[in-house]
Structure 1
Amino acid sequence: MLNGLYVMDPNRFDDVYGPEARAAIERHLVIDSPLLTRDQITPDVLAGLDVLVTGWGAPKLDAEFLAAAPKLSLVLYGAGSIKPMVTPEMWARGVRVTSAATANAEPVAEFALSQILYALKHGWRYVLAARAAAASAPRGPELGAYGATVGLVSLGATGRATARLLSHHKLDVQAYDPYADPAQAERLGVRLVGLEELFATSDVVSLHSPLTPETERLVGTELLESMKHDATLINSARGGLVDEAALVDVLSRRTDLFAVLDVTDPEPPVDGSPLFTMPNIVVTPHLAGSLGHERRRHGETMADELARYVAEEPLLYEITESGLARRA
């Protein structure tokens, strides 16, 4: 049996590592210590550590940590981005890391699907119009979902998961991703197009890109102005992908357009932001990612990865230094 240790934010621990996941993990690990936060770690609990089980609130695996944990060989990270945790020293030591980022793609995709279909019915528009008038909103010429064109910006884990859900509906799905594998896109039933074409021809545009220097404020005045009449922009990725000043400006003039923002920059928006009061923008408080017991997917994914590790099988969600650099 290998020696393990739970270290993470205690407020999220049970959501991620529920009873079933813990039972599966503890079939392979001896865990003598109670759950610790990163501030409670002492050298004595690290001395015999083989596998670190963690998630939100993970410790930084710097030289000091690694010196106290000479046997550490695997980190199970039951959350998304591992960037706050990893260090060059960790990679140099050969410590392996596997992440539940792919598990987090599923609820984001479910949220995106719900908003895409709702947007094609003009759902939010009618809700806000009725509330403003304190009366029933008159029906308009909504498009509906059948045969509509949906554009996905990025075919990373969440973009691919969204495409798979959209494939169950009679929709024309296109995507912009300069790094996408054309064969994979074809298998998903997605047509690859340029960014300008995607914005100009989609009835709904859904953002799924990571936030990098290249994608910061990717969506600005020109792309927004180019959108089809009655089109909707959905952002469940990162607030910084959208130039919000440009969004407010364009949507104040193009009242036919609509935006659903689950993420903003800053997050939450400042009090009094026009994002809260404009009739063609709705803001939700970062609901798309895993919430509550949805996070159990993360822990179960990590338990499965540990079983593969013990059986000396390939890890499905291992993150390497070169792979992380490519994502960045």
Structure 2
Amino acid sequence: MSLNVALAMPLHTARAVFSSRSLEPLEPALNLLSREPIQDFHSPEGQDLLRETDILITGWGCPMIDDAVLDAAPRLRYVLHAAGSVKHHIGDACWERGVMVSSAADANAIPVAEYTVAMIVLANKRVLQIARALHTTRSDVLPEQLFPDMGNYRKRVGIIGASKIGRHVIRLLAGYELDVAVADPYLSPDEAAILGVELLSLDELMATSDVVSLHAPSLPSTKNLIDAGQIARMRPGATFINTARGELVDQDALLARVERGDLYAVLDVTTPWVLPAESRFYTHPNVLLTPHVAGSLGNELERMASSAVAEALRISRGETLQFQVRAEDLAFTA
């Protein structure tokens, strides 16, 4: 007998992430109860679907799955999240009752890593600064006179955090002739050797890297991880890239260093999420701001849908989850 699958997320999330073709592989191995997602677990429609659901596929904005929801879903054994972090909707009751949880964080890591590598290459090549000079002068620009150290050959790239994204950045950088270093208190020397990177303290990484890219999780222990002291350590002309979370960085200290004129910043995330209109990050020529575009957007969302669907099909075949999340993981992940 086929297991029953339901979706749970806001309607706009379902329409953005799940195309009709992305759900087609579920059948005939599994029974999709409805293509319309559950938006309110406590509505009559939501209660009816929960009663029959074995596998719940969730997305951004899914309501909290707590004791009351699980009481209404006696058959529920799996929650497969078609996005990254599960902290916002997986309640303690899920772990306590043995519900198995999976996440598409690995799928979401791919575009973030691709964005990061693109920015690293552009930063070392001084493309953004040279392009700005060309737009400003509207005349002949001699790049090597402006930046005699430009180029990617044997530059040091410092990765903060051997997270899913950090590790994928490392894999993508393997094809470049770069010196890649990592700072992560949980990464062993043996693991660093397998990754092909040099393991450094955060202080040394900040002081010796041409580009520093932040990939640590947002936890109470990592707030202001990159503080004024770390920012001061960065070498003149270096570039700081943040695709993680704004609260990991002392933004006032970063802005002050940028305004000295000897540091560049590529910021896809800030605190607050949207900076106030008067923020000088908008106007400083050494800053590239993007509105959280590194993560999955557009057709990249379908990759996360495919990840969740593939997990559901593994369940139908009696296989283990490939991207299982465990309660103990939450202390170290976003």
Q: Is 2:197 the counterpart of 1:190?
A: yes
| 1:78 paired to 2:79 | no
Match of 1:293 among 284, 290, 299: 299
Q: How many residues align?
A: 327
Partners in 1 of 2:79 and 2:283 — Cα distance? 45
Map of 1:107 onto structure 2 = 111
Q: Which residue of 1 aligns with 2:315?
A: 309
Structure 1: which amino acid aligns with 2:271? D
1:3 partner letter: N
8 Å CA contact retained: 2:6, 2:32: yes
Q: Partner residue of 2:96? A: 92
Do structure 1's residue 277 and structure 2's residue 283 form an aligned pair? yes
Structure 2 counterpart of 1:270, one-letter code: P
Q: Which one-letter code corresponds to 1:100 in the other structure? A: A
Equivalent residue number for residue 212 of structure 2: 205
Distance (whole Å) between structure 1 residues aligned to residue 127 and residue 249 of structure 2: 23
Q: Aligned with 2:240: secondary structure?
A: strand
**1:321 matched residue in structure 2:** 327
Q: Is the 8 A contact 1:167 1:188 kept in 2?
A: no
Q: Residues 221 and 325 of structure 1: is their aligned pair in 2 closer, same or farther, counting only changes over 3 Å?
A: closer
Q: CA deviation at 1:32?
A: 3.0
Larger CA deviation: 159-168 vs 55-64: 55-64
Deviates more, 1:44-53 or 1:106-115: 44-53
The range that moved more, 170-179 or 16-25, is 16-25
Kindly indicate whether the alpha-carbon contact (under 8 Å) linking 1:199 and 1:205 is maintained by their aligned counterparts in 2: yes
| Kept after mapping to 1: 8 A contact 2:30/2:313 | no
Cα distance change on mapping 1:293 and 1:308 into 2, 3 Å:
same
* CA–CA separation in structure 2 for the residues paired with 1:110 and 1:177: 21
Structure 2-normalised TM-score? 0.93
Give the CA deviation at 1:134: 5.2
Partner of residue 36, structure 1 = 37
Structure 1 gap segments, 5+ residues each: none
Q: Is the 8 A contact 2:218 2:333 kept in 1?
A: no
- In the other structure, the counterpart of 1:232 is 239
Q: Distance in 1 between matches of 2:127 and 2:150?
A: 11
- Given that 2:3 and 2:316 are in contact with CA atoms closer than 8 Å, whether structure 1 keeps it comes out as no
1:144 aligns with 2:181: no
Matched, 1:163 2:170: yes
Instruction: Identify which range, 31-40 or 297-306, moves more after superposition.
Output: 31-40
Whether the aligned pair in 2 keeps the contact of 1:15 and 1:294 (CA below 8 Å) is no
| Bigger mean CA offset, 226-235 vs 197-206 | 226-235
SS, match of residue 275 in structure 1: coil
Residue 179, structure 1, aligned to residue 186, structure 2: yes
1:260 aligns with 2:266: yes
Of the structure 1 ranges 52-61 and 258-267, higher mean CA displacement relative to structure 2 is found in 52-61
Q: Is the 8 A contact 2:218 2:248 kept in 1?
A: yes
Runs (4+) off by over 6 Å: none
What's the C-alpha RMSD, in Å, of the aligned pairs?
1.7
